[in-house]
Chain A
Amino acid sequence: EDQVTQSPEALRLQEGESSSLNCSYTVSGLRGLFWYRQDPGKGPEFLFTLYSAGEEKEKERLKATLTKKESFLHITAPKPEDSATYLCAVQSRGAGNQFYFGTGTSLTVIP
């Protein structure tokens, strides 16, 4: 069964304290792995797509990496405005290319 698990559920960081969020997945044929940011009460905002193991993408203080079993979202020197829930999703080759979302990591960056 296709599954996505994110850890930790919640993370509190001091401003400037770098860390990583984890997304572990099992999927019958990976089409792509996607990272989103979601602010409370808002729609998820697309961040990155990763397609194959070894691939890396960067955007400002965020860097996403992918292995055959998991993905990491590294946050370097975070700022309070990075506080949000970060969602990971995988797209399977089966079942109509369906997306499977994890439950997210809630990040709080304290000034």
Chain B
Amino acid sequence: DSGVTQTPKHLITATGQRVTLRCSPRSGDLSVYWYQQSLDQGLQFLIQYYNGEERAKGNILERFSAQQFPDLHSELNLSSLELGDSALYFCASSAPGGWNEQFFGPGTRLTVL
């Protein structure tokens, strides 16, 4: 158990809908990272937050957005969902310092029908 929690574990929805994925980092960690992992693809970095502020952006679509709240939990919002958005979404956290290893949560499996 990495100490990173994600909810829900599974999410099934329809095209065009909007969903919110939630992540709680390990105690003491200030950075939260979001990744997308599709079938047969590697982990694609989406976005990073550090202590409530956006720190880095990867290949995140405009339909996707995220935020980190004062209690350091983070939410990833996915809107106007398409079939191709079906994937595993992982959240990771790391300790203060900026270049420490990331610890991953169990993931949310999103299925768009």
Task: Give bound CA distance, A109 to B5, whole Å.
Answer: 30
A-B interface pairs (CB < 8 A), number: 59
Q: How far is the CA of A18 from the CA of B10 in the complex (A)?
A: 37
A43 touches B42 (CB 8 A): no
Instruction: Give 21 CB contacts A-B under 8 Å.
Output: A31-B99, A34-B101, A34-B102, A41-B109, A42-B106, A43-B2, A44-B43, A46-B103, A49-B100, A87-B42, A89-B43, A98-B48, A98-B56, A99-B33, A99-B45, A99-B102, A101-B35, A101-B42, A101-B43, A102-B42, A104-B42
Interface size class of A (residues with CB under 8 A): 20 to 34
Q: Which residues of chain A are within 8 angstroms of B100 by Cβ–Cβ distance?
A: 49
Q: Which B residues lie at the A interface, using CB under 8 A? A: 2, 4, 33, 35, 41-43, 45, 48, 55-56, 58, 88, 90, 92, 98-107, 109
Q: Interface on A for B, CB 8 Å cutoff?
A: 31-32, 34, 36, 41-46, 49, 87, 89, 91, 95-104
A100 contact set on B, CB distance < 8 A: 45
Quick check: A98 and B42 within 8 Å, CB to CB?
no
The answer to whether A49 and B107 touch across the interface, beta carbons within 8 angstroms, is no
Q: Are A97 and B106 in contact (CB under 8 A)?
A: no
Chain B residues, Cβ within 8 Å of A42:
106-107
Which secondary structure dominates where chain A touches chain B?
strand
Are the CB atoms of B101 and A46 closer together than 8 Å?
Answer: yes
Knowing A95-B56, A99-B33, the reply to whether A41 touches B101 (Cβ < 8 A) is: no
Residue of B nearest to A96 (CB): B56
List residues of chain B with CB within 8 A of the CB of A41. Answer: 88, 107, 109
Inter-chain CA distance A36–B103, complex, in Å, is 10
Given the known A-B contacts A42-B106, A42-B107, A96-B56, are A87 and B43 also in contact in the complex, defined by CB atoms under 8 Å?
Answer: yes
